[in-house]
Amino acid sequence: MEVKVRFPPSPTGNLHVGSVRTALFNFLFARKNKGKLILRIEDTDKEREVKESYQAIYDSLKWLGLDWDEGPILQSDRLGIYKKCEKILLDRKIAYKQDGATYLKTNKTGQTKWIDLIGKKEVVFENGTIEDFVIYKSNGFPVYHFANVVDDHLMGITHVLRGEDIMSSTPKQLMLYTAFGWQLPEFGHFPVILATDRSKLSKRHGAVGILDFKKEGYLKEALLNYLALLGWTPPSGKEILSLEEMTAEFDLSQVNVSPAVFDITKLQWMNGEYIRRMLDQELTNKLQEFLVDHPSKDKIGPVVPLIKERIKKLSDFVPLTDFLFEKPEYDQEVFLKVISEKSKLKSMIKGILEDMEKMEKPWEAKVFEETFRKLAEELGLSVTAMFQLIRVAVSGQLVTPPLFESIKILGEEETVKRVKEALSFVA
């Protein structure tokens, strides 16, 4: 029997962390078992539909490299099929019409149960707690449970793998399978994803649309790697895995039953790890692709080795390096964080300027360091404060790539020019 799974998002907004984790686990399961993944868009709830969501779903999955084998299939194109299936149940007197809607008669005795693939645990629902439920709404559209079951059966889905948050719908779907006399697929429900404070994941915790992670400068490889570890422990114990390695190791028996915790700080760490493992040229190419509107993206190559160990996202590149490509805007408060006594600022920057103008060109790192260590001593300033003051005079900011290497990229003339501008600013 060929393994067939599906990822069935609703077009009601952007794909978020939980949905993509579900898509990833389905993808890994299908690839591991040489099966197929179907992309099905469950768009029968037209009141909640957001038109832009369709393309956002496709773009998100394509960016991440989660390719599907069949689809996208739109449920809204299959209304005739659902109508025929509704008629089958009505003809069998298993369903009935009331107030324009169609209801399934439920068995009020006994239990509905299944062995869930996640944790291999038996899940039991008392049938007496499940009232007759709507399968077709009065507006002519099937409800989620009904269309879902019809499609899963007709598309040959062998494993229904989804989030634990919709497990409450599973008994109704099992009742529908029984009503039709269809063979049941296997069911597995992944644990929910919580915020670090154990509350429901929301935007304030970083639960934004997946394409927003792309805009923020996260690498798809790092994002997939992190999402895979939300509820799954690879047998190898490795923390950094490629999509191919995840596929080779993935096993539903290794998926945890406990809720997973989404930690944006951990994701940033992992993204930084991926950045540091890249070759300089590879990172340069990634940055040039990411920095669409950067005025000097063809000149960023020499800067990349300086920032590779310092950035966690591609978007960190601009605030860290923009002074290398355009004149800085000075802020007196930044200077005062280095030298709190405003009256001494001017004389200190003037001393820096004079020493820079005296130094033989091209400046050498050793001479540069010795010169300003000596000046720091003469001015009664710590060495750290001296080089921080030079940093601010040159860049306008407290954090930059390594100072001397940055100065070499700027060039001696431009550096001297900036120190002059800083002197006139604090005057």
Structure confidence by residue, pLDDT tens digits, 88-139:
999 999 999 999 999 999 989 999 999 999 999 999 999 999 999 999 999 9
What is the predicted pLDDT for the residue at 263? 93
Architecture of domain 332-426: Orthogonal Bundle (1.10)
Query: Which band of pLDDT confidence, cut at 50, 70 and 90, is reported for residue 205?
Result: low
The backbone torsions φ and ψ at residue 200, rounded to the nearest 5 degrees and listed phi first, read -65, 135
pLDDT-based confidence at residue 324 (cuts at 50, 70, 90) = very high
Percent of the chain whose predicted confidence (pLDDT) is above 70: 99
For residue 207, pLDDT beyond 70: no
Predicted pLDDT at 297: 87
Q: If pLDDT is split at 50, 70 and 90, which confidence band does 195 have? A: confident
Q: Which pLDDT does position 322 carry in this prediction?
A: 94
Are 258 and 274 in contact by the 8 Å Cβ rule? The answer is no
- Counting other chains too, the contacts that 356-360 makes at CB distance below 8 Å and 24 or more residues apart are 356/412, 356/415, 356/416, 356/419, 357/416
Question: ∠ at Cα 305 (300, 307), nearest 5°?
Answer: 80
Mean pLDDT of 222-249: 96
Percent of the chain with pLDDT over 90: 91
Using DSSP bridges, classify how beta strands 70-74 and 36-41 pair: parallel, antiparallel or unpaired: parallel
At 397 the three-state DSSP class reads: coil
The class (CATH top level) of 4-75+192-264 is alpha beta
The arithmetic mean of pLDDT across residues 192-208, rounded, is 76
**Angle 246-252-256 from CA coordinates, rounded to 5°:** 95
Confidence at residue 206, expressed as pLDDT on a 0 to 100 scale? 56
Mean of per-residue pLDDT scores for the chain: 95
Kindly state the average pLDDT of the residues 318-327. 95
DSSP readout, 45-102? Answer: -TTS--TTHHHHHHHHHHHHT---SEEEEEGGG-HHHHHHHHHHHHHTTSEEEETTEE
Nearest 5°: phi and psi at 237? 80, 0
Backbone angles phi, psi at 190, to 5 degrees: -75, 145
250-279: pLDDT as tens digits: 999 999 999 999 999 999 999 999 999 999
Q: Is the pLDDT of residue 223 over 90?
A: yes
Q: Roughly how many angstroms between the first and final C-alpha of the chain, as a whole number?
A: 81
The model's confidence at residue 404, banded by pLDDT at 50, 70 and 90, is very high
Assigned CATH topology for domain 78-190: Rossmann fold (3.40.50)
| Confidence band, pLDDT 50/70/90 cuts, at residue 47 | confident
Per the CB < 8 A criterion, the answer to whether 66 and 26 are in contact is no
Contact predicate 197/41, CB 8 Å: no
Is 203 a residue of the active site? yes
- Mean pLDDT within 320-333: 94
Pick the catalytic residue from 83, 108, 200, 203. 203
- In this predicted model, what pLDDT tens digit does every residue of 342-357 receive, in sequence order? 889 999 999 999 999 9
Average pLDDT over residues 211-220: 95
